[in-house]
Amino acid sequence: MANPRRTSFSPLSNHTHNHQQLPISTAPFQNQGTQISTLMNSLKSFLKKPHAFPFLLSLFLLLTWVSLRFQRPSSSSIRREEWHAKVQSGSDDLDANLVRFSPSSSLIAKDKRGWLINPISLAISGGAASCASVHLGEIRSGGVRGNHRHHTCNETFVIWGAKTVFRVENDAVKKGYAEVIIGADEVAVAVSPLGTGHALVNVDPVRSTYFMGCQDSVINYNGSTTDFNVWKDL
């Protein structure tokens, strides 16, 4: 009886047969390298031409300006520092007809959500006789409000929210006016008697100043009872 014929398989040839190596294309990398080389050659060619000089000069000036911009403080920050130095060495609250209320004051209700006030009551407690006309306002960083003088009414302000300069005319002060800084975490009441100029200046780098103005009579701003631009430096 003849032996059946056995078929033998080579493990190595079987593995090679099932796992053929796939070709790797290098075309994308070659194309990318060609594009970069072409771009560099074009740039070199452009820089050798005479009209490349104005372009390079403009680029240099731009980079210089950007560098100085980041290194030097802004004009607004310089102005805030000047205000702070000037006011710190100047008037006190009494000269500026101003009263500060701490968060622990009985006129201010405070809890974890913040504080709450009755601005009319606060204005009257700060010296206002009545509030015949009331207005609310915002002063953004670097902004100024007021800088005028009412001849027919007293005006009382409730001020809060940001570091703010309050200026008011006062003949008893050598320079003719008093000014103080109200802190961002303070609530203040300031009075400008009739016939005295007043101004509010936000010197805070970020936050807005909020205020309520209480006048004891109604003002016609189109009439001649108000002087505007009292101070030229504001």
Question: For residue 164, which of 100, 108, 74 has the smallest C-alpha distance?
Answer: 100
What are the pLDDT digits (tens) for 53-85? 777 778 778 877 777 666 554 555 545 555 555
Are 200 and 157 in contact by the 8 Å Cβ rule? The answer is: yes
Q: Within 13 A of 177's CA, how many CA atoms are on the CB side?
A: 21
Cβ neighbours of residue 215 closer than 8 Å, sequence gap 6 or more: 131, 132, 133, 134, 150, 153, 154, 155, 156
What whole-number distance in Å separates Cα of residue 151 and Cα of residue 157? Answer: 17
> Rounded to two decimals, what is the model's pTM?
0.63
What are the pLDDT digits (tens) for 192-207? 999 999 999 999 999 9
First to last CA, the chain: 122
